[in-house]
Chain A
């Protein structure tokens, strides 16, 4: 039910928090200020390769306690797209 309160211990999922976490992760891989990373720009534009993609998977898994497919960043090519995917996954779990 949409109106029910989250169960005790359940993480409250916030789309903007996910987005900002992802932006800071991407910025840290690129060693660039987070203000230089835009959430609607394709990650390949920032130099996404197979290693960058798996690094992101590991960090996302550790942050949210879920398992994600190794194709995450290819299936969802921008920070916005990954945000939506993670939001859906996390709310479906909650």
Chain B
């Protein structure tokens, strides 16, 4: 018998009413100020919100939740669960407009009935919602609303097929995709997470700075401890970035056992936690530190383990894992009681899509296992022929199982394409991840990511959004095609934007100036390191016959020097790596002046 999250929350409110369900640690400068909500309080507050919601929406209606990390989000989210209203957690729109258009695209796609936020953001949220042509959708600050006494509010008891929430993490701004998570998938995935990392007991304490609108933050860090009756200790992402050390302090202040973060966060801790801070840290309670949401780098795992060993970090605590919103969250994880599995492979074989282990003293790349295949059916499939591949052959990762999400909201075509794929030998009903991987010895290694997403420090950026933004920056770029990608530079990746340039509109322009302007605008809009910019003649961004930009081909051409560019303005690192010998980074292609 497996109870869902709502049933479990009701039980905890009865059996451990005074236990902290969630602690939000607000930072005042360097000073942590914890705010708490117990299981009984959370139950009471959520009942009151649910009762209020029932007066305004029907079960199955959608409510957009635009909150920074904090207890108000948690109350509103559980309130929606209690009312059977489908919550859609999303980032608060910021003032540079990009998230505003994303917010309105989500609100439109999901046909939301209501927007919930806090009083600190009510004004900006209301403005963003009204600007997007949704004047009829009310915006409500839940921390400034009197919901009355919740003790008598009823709770809708969901069944397996009741949709718990929608997770809009994938898809570009113009084409947002809301992953549908029913209670069946949620319960199964939460159990899967708890079992994989050995968390099935009530002293589980997660400590996290991940945004709660992100699948790993919401499901992994908040809902997992709530299901098993543990405690979620949360802070704001910005406070982690300001002081990485503040995250690690949570483990000793709250006896944290569980966390998750993208690879860059582990790197950042090694770089920015001082020896003095290290000497004060105690990480001995930490049982599972999931490394996921972006590629796991072997050197990072190694550095983190060595650097924090003196603070009591267990050598098997870091858990390289693989997951995604379409899978609800977890696909595979390095399980409890086992250390990381890192394998050196033959680089030349890897280029031929073969995964061949090499001896320790070889010079091939180190690949990090995301863990053994456990509850899901996993197939490695040749994306062109749809033929299942044997162990050791690289292909697209396909999944099937109870813990996966079931589709995209209000998007049948994409749901059919991504969630109902069939192999050439007649197996049906697979989720296509778009990621490349390989099975070896029962372990899943991810070797390449979906070409349609750029991950920078755990944030998903979409080439389409960058290209569209670029084309709007200057009349010489309007209406022309761009192609954005990332290229490896050392251990990191940098963005390269290739874009066609109108010879007429650009005549007489200083192209170096233009390219520098593009770089600065893109850096400011997307808050990324100055991207490299390559300007091309019209028609030089390759497309398929159906007009789809061939981003993988363009990337390849850039990396191998196969583009006839009009002008390039590259970062020093990209220039060193891909245009050896050109120290200042800017080149006018010889013999190809406009």
Contact = CB atoms under 8 A, between A and B. Distances in A.
Given A44-B519, A49-B523, A54-B241, A61 B30 contact: yes
Interface in B391-430: none
Contacts of B268: 51
A50 interface: yes
Nearest to A71: B95
B577 interface: no
B582 interface: no
Interface in A34-65: 42, 44-45, 47-55, 57-58, 61-62, 65
Contacts of A42: 520
Interface in B502-535: 519-520, 523-524, 527-530
B291 interface: no
Contact of A48 (B30, B264, B529): B529
Contact of A58 (B241, B523, B528): B241
Nearest to B28: A67
A49 B268 CA distance: 14
Contacts of B241: 50-51, 54-55, 58
Given A47-B571, A49-B523, A55-B242, 15 more contacts: A45-B530, A47-B529, A49-B529, A50-B241, A50-B457, A50-B528, A51-B457, A54-B241, A54-B242, A55-B272, A61-B30, A61-B242, A62-B29, A62-B243, A74-B524
A44 B242 contact: no
B488 interface: no
A91 interface: no
Contacts of A53: 527
A44 B530 contact: yes
A67 B29 contact: yes
Interface in B254-299: 264, 268, 272
Nearest to A62: B30
Nearest to A54: B241
B238 interface: yes
A57 B241 CA distance: 9
28 contacts: A42-B520, A44-B520, A44-B524, A44-B530, A45-B530, A48-B530, A49-B523, A49-B527, A49-B528, A49-B529, A50-B457, A50-B527, A50-B528, A51-B268, A51-B457, A52-B529, A54-B241, A55-B241, A57-B242, A58-B242, A58-B243, A61-B29, A61-B30, A61-B242, A62-B243, A67-B29, A70-B238, A74-B527
A16 B520 CA distance: 27
Nearest to A52: B529
- Chain A facing B: main interface SS: helix
A57 B272 CA distance: 14
A44 B238 contact: no
Q: Size class of A's contact patch?
A: 20 to 34
Contacts of A74: 524, 527
Interface in B563-581: 571
A1 to B, nearest CB: 30
A44 B243 CA distance: 21
A74 B242 CA distance: 15
Contacts of A58: 241-243
B95 to A, nearest CB: 8
- Most-contacted residue by chain A among B238, B241, B242 (CB, 10 A): B242
Nearest to A53: B527
Contacts of A45: 530
B359 to A, nearest CB: 33
- Most-contacted residue by chain B among A51, A55, A57 (CB, 10 A): A51
Contacts of B242: 54-55, 57-58, 61
Interface in A50-94: 50-55, 57-58, 61-62, 65, 67, 70, 74
A48 B524 CA distance: 9
Nearest to B241: A54
A49 B529 CA distance: 5
A78 to B, nearest CB: 12
A72 to B, nearest CB: 11
Interface in B25-41: 28-30
Contacts of B30: 61-62
Nearest to A59: B242
Nearest to A49: B529
B523 A44 contact: yes
Contacts of A67: 28-29
- Most-contacted residue by chain A among B264, B272, B527, B571 (CB, 10 A): B527
A90 to B, nearest CB: 15
A61 B28 CA distance: 10
A37 B37 CA distance: 47
A52 B271 CA distance: 12
Contacts of B571: 47
Nearest to A65: B29
A23 B156 CA distance: 58
Contacts of B530: 44-45, 47-48
- Most-contacted residue by chain A among B28, B30, B264 (CB, 10 A): B30
A27 B528 CA distance: 18
B39 to A, nearest CB: 33
A57 B242 CA distance: 6
Contacts of A48: 523, 529-530
B587 to A, nearest CB: 18
A63 B112 CA distance: 45
Contacts of B529: 47-49, 52
